[in-house]
Amino acid sequence: MQSLASYTPAFLKELYRKMVLIRRFEERAAELRSLGYIPGFLHPYIGQEAVAVGACAALGPHDYITSTHRGHGHILARGGDPRYMYAELFARRDGYNRAKGGSLHIANIELGIIGANGIVGGGIPIAVGAGLALKQARQIAVHHPDDPRARRADGVAVTFFGDGASNQGAFHESLNLAALWRLPVIFICENNLYGEFTPQHKHQTIRDIATRASSYAVPGLIADGNDVLDVYRVVSKAAEEARKGRGPTLVECKTYRHRGHYEGDMGQYRPAEEVAFWLEADPIKNYRRLLLAGAICTEEELQALDEAVEQELEEAVAFAKASPHPAPEEALEDVFVESYGGRALL
Amino acid sequence: MTATSRAEKERRLTYAQAIREALAEEMERDPSLLLLGEDIGEPGGVFGVTQGLLQRFGEERVLDTPISEEAVIGAALGAALLGVPTVAEIMFSDFATLAMDQIVNQAAKFRYMTGGRTSAPLVIRMVTGTAGATAAQHSQSLEAWFTATPGLKVVTASTPADAKGLLKSAIRDPDPVLFFEHKLLYNSRGAVPADDYCIPLGEGRVAREGSDVTLVAYLYMLPRALKAAEMLAREGISVEVWDPRTLVPFDRDGLRRSLEKTGRLVIAQEAPRRNGFCAEIAAIAAEEFFPLLKAPIKRVCGTNTPMPYAPELEQFVIPDEERIAAGVREVLYNAVRAAPGG
Ligand SMILES: Cc1ncc(C[n+]2csc(CCOP(=O)(O)OP(=O)(O)O)c2C)c(N)n1
Ligand SMILES: [Mg+2]
């Protein structure tokens, strides 16, 4: 745990609020799914909140992220609105993707969210492309400072992925490419010790995925993925390097998911002691204690933050419930851009 | 000789030159356009298509990549999603198999999955077909796979003029476009207008007028179909050769107009017969234009085999002008002739 002195209370409280927002968003989503509101998959982010929140706290308005199947945390941390997220999960018209994507595909480029992804490792090469566009923006800024794209000249692209994804060719190809072209890309591996039902030691021979950085001559850093300030510190360092044009960093965040792989998986393949250990290391519980011990806020203030989150989510759920279902023929729209009527073509 | 025809004569370019010219003009027009691909920089590409572009536009825009098809197509997509148009080259379309996730699961569906809130102005140039003894992993004609994936536009350019005009449209198009270039066409020459022209996607072209049979052909089957038509003309058969130019979107009206004239349909295709795009064309004609048809439809295709190495085997596999002509005669005279393969 870090010293709190170097941060403003407002910043520290916002980290707390965001983590609670994610946790409660996910708990409610699970409940809403069991009530039949959500037709599709859910991969809860519960337990890993410190990674998304710490990493996104290091990002600015011109930065981009790619996310994963376990994406709600990243999207909320990056500024996603729970109303449009629930509406998407409910498959309603007001969803971020107008009910065409669901949990695995929530995206909003304006917010810098290039998308969750249903393919393990699928977002990693796309983040490299975002890095390429950001590198180009640096040149635009030099030669055409008035071009609107010059604004993102300080941008970085962050790609989140799991320990399981670190065995995909896409990860290796992308890290090599980003290293070679010195692109402003931060590779954040959330090592939660499992790829689906398979423990890490049965899917790779290493423990520290950060060591894979050495194959590409880029820095490989390890953060305590259950400590939001440690994640913030490490990702800030990587972002600073990237913004200075020094290329990518691989950041491994050691963490754990509290629940099964997806909603409905009981996670019984995990030893009880292991689960108990990590529940004790709960990122929110520990951070809450830290804030109280450091006299950053009082119990009452934290409760007020918790209640504000409940209120926001309550309203978000109501918004989603009130949102209309799509008309069946909308299935034909959005295949292509409007110049072709946007509709399905032969 | 008039001034214009002289100018046109001077403007006889190869298919490779026409593609290069389209790339250069579009890079000039849009200074953010990027090219990515293996060996496209200094070496100018395996088929020389990008020669000189690195020198002209610099290494920030002509990006020679490692041999990483998946990351390269993903990078082209990611940049495109941020509004930077990209043209990626797949050196042999066979290698697109290594990038299938990015092409099929990501690029094709991004706009749809996001409810129409994103656009990916990305072109993937696919070097396709056999070049003669290039065997099973460097010769495939995989265009039909991609036509079966909604969200991708599929272009098959068969002449230098079409290659230039279609590639320029593909680059300006806001959706992902797969642009198939046939290896054996790179050195073919043809008149290419000097002005800045685009050929809209979704408009076929009558390559030769005729009245007895419509012969549909694209990529390297087009010159073979034209030769077959020439042979058949000497027998008194008038063949209309029609090139769809783009498979998605497909010019149904163009096909209908031709069938209204001829009432007979033969489709030539280099790819294996089974589930080739010829099957889709035949289905459209049977389903929508049946009243226009005076005879059964005939497909003249590659055999349902991988591409063999030996020249005589390869020749057996891919239709030549003789076999195409036989297909036309069969439709006209209803002569029964077994096609090789399946
Ligand atoms: C290419 C691909 N293979 C397999 C799957 C099925 N799948 C979904 S999530 C998952 C596990 C991913 O593990 P990891 O990358 O560690 O992420 P985590 O689930 O732990 O967050 C698997 C195998 C998939 N979606 N995509
Ligand atoms: Mg994992």
| pLDDT attached to residue A344 | 66
Angle at A128 between CA A78 and CA B38, to 5 degrees: 165
| pLDDT attached to residue A343 | 64
Tell me, using a 6 A CB cutoff, whether residue A52 lines ligand 1: no
| pLDDT attached to residue B148 | 97
The second-level CATH assignment, the architecture, of B205-337 is 3-Layer(aba) Sandwich (3.40)
CB contact under 8 A, B74 and A125: yes
Q: Output the six-digit token pair for B153.
A: 């536009």
Q: Report chain A's mean pLDDT, rounded to a whole number.
A: 96
> Catalytic site residue B138?
yes
Tell me, using a 6 A CB cutoff, whether residue A197 lines ligand 1: no
How sure is the predictor about A323, in pLDDT bands with cuts at 50, 70 and 90? very high
Q: Does residue A281 lie in a domain region?
A: yes
Q: What is the pLDDT of residues B296-326, one digit of tens each?
A: 999 999 999 999 999 999 999 999 999 999 9
Measure CB to CB from residue A109 to each of B113, B118, B248 and give the nearest one. Answer: B118
Q: Does residue A236 lie in a domain region?
A: yes
Q: Does residue A2 lie in a domain region?
A: no
Minimum Cα–Cα distance from A345: chain B residue:
B249
How sure is the predictor about A59, in pLDDT bands with cuts at 50, 70 and 90? very high
Our CA-based measurement puts residue B339 at a distance from the nearest CA of chain A, in whole angstroms, of 28
Whether A155 shows a pLDDT value over 90: the answer reads: yes
Closest-CA residue, ligand 1 atom 25, reads A119
| pLDDT attached to residue B342 | 39
| pLDDT attached to residue B3 | 52
- Spatial separation of the C-alpha atoms in residues B214 and B257, rounded to whole Å: 10
**Considering its fold, how many domains does chain A have in total?**
1
| pLDDT attached to residue A3 | 79
**How much is the average pLDDT of B195-212?**
97
- Spatial separation of the C-alpha atoms in residues A306 and A319, rounded to whole Å: 20
Q: Does residue A3 lie in a domain region?
A: no
Task: Tell me which chain B residues have a C-beta less than 8 angstroms from the C-beta of A334.
Answer: 111-112, 114-116
**How much is the average pLDDT of A121-140?**
97
Sign of the four-CA dihedral B133, B134, B137, B142? negative
Q: Does residue A109 lie in a domain region?
A: yes
Residue A162 alpha carbon, nearest atom of ligand 1 = 15
What are the boundaries of each domain within chain B?
3-191, 205-337
CB pairs below 8 Å between A and B: how many? 170
Task: Tell me which chain B residues have a C-beta less than 8 angstroms from the C-beta of A125.
Answer: 70-75, 77-78, 102
How sure is the predictor about B178, in pLDDT bands with cuts at 50, 70 and 90? very high
Q: What is the pLDDT of residues A238-290, one digit of tens each?
A: 999 999 999 999 999 999 999 999 999 999 999 999 999 999 999 999 999 99
**How much is the average pLDDT of A207-220?**
98
Q: Kindly provide the residue ranges of all beta strands, DSSP E only, lying in chain B, ordered along the sequence.
A: 12-14, 34-37, 62-64, 86-90, 122-128, 153-156, 177-182, 189-191, 205-208, 213-216, 239-243, 246-248, 265-272, 298-302
Measure CB to CB from residue B112 to each of A100, A122, A169 and give the nearest one. Answer: A100
- Spatial separation of the C-alpha atoms in residues A150 and B254, rounded to whole Å: 45
| CATH number (domain holding residue A246) | 3.40.50.970
Mutate which of A26, A42, A66, A120 for ligand 1 pocket (most atoms within 8 A of beta carbon):
A120
Its domain, for residue A230, covers: 9-345
Task: Tell me which chain A residues have a C-beta less than 8 angstroms from the C-beta of B86.
Answer: 129
Rounded distance from Cα B176 to ligand 1 centre (Å): 26
- Domains B3-191 and B205-337 agree in fold: yes
Ion ligand 2, residues whose Cβ is below 5 A away = A 162-164, 192, 194-195
ipTM of the complex: 0.96
Give the percent of chain A with pLDDT over 70: 97
Q: Does residue A262 lie in a domain region?
A: yes
Task: Tell me which chain B residues have a C-beta less than 8 angstroms from the C-beta of A136.
Answer: 32, 34, 60, 79, 84
- Spatial separation of the C-alpha atoms in residues B327 and A200, rounded to whole Å: 59
Whether A20 shows a pLDDT value over 90: the answer reads: yes
Tell me, using a 6 A CB cutoff, whether residue A225 lines ligand 1: no
Whether A341 shows a pLDDT value over 60: the answer reads: no
Tell me, using a 6 A CB cutoff, whether residue A192 lines ligand 1: yes
Q: What is the pLDDT of residues B48-91, one digit of tens each?
A: 999 999 999 999 999 999 999 999 999 999 999 999 999 999 99
Residue with tokens 């004569």: B9
The second-level CATH assignment, the architecture, of B3-191 is 3-Layer(aba) Sandwich (3.40)
Measure CB to CB from residue A98 to each of B72, B115, B284 and give the nearest one. Answer: B115
Task: Tell me which chain B residues have a C-beta less than 8 angstroms from the C-beta of A95.
Answer: 115
Angle at A70 between CA A94 and CA A213, to 5 degrees: 130
Measure CB to CB from residue B112 to each of A66, A174, A335 and give the nearest one. Answer: A335
Rounded distance from Cα A71 to ligand 2 centre (Å): 13
Q: Does residue A140 lie in a domain region?
A: yes
Could you tell me the CA-to-CA distances from A284 to A81, A232, A270, A272 in Å, in that order? 21, 15, 22, 21
Residue with tokens 């207008």: B193
| pLDDT attached to residue B334 | 74
Catalytic member of B125, B138, B164, B299: B138
Q: Report chain B's mean pLDDT, rounded to a whole number.
A: 95
Closest-CA residue, ligand 1 atom 6, reads A120
Q: Does residue A70 lie in a domain region?
A: yes
Q: What is the pLDDT of residues B4-28, one digit of tens each?
A: 555 555 689 999 999 999 999 999 9
Q: What is the pLDDT of residues A90-108, one digit of tens each?
A: 999 999 999 999 999 999 9
| pLDDT attached to residue B168 | 98
| pLDDT attached to residue B220 | 98
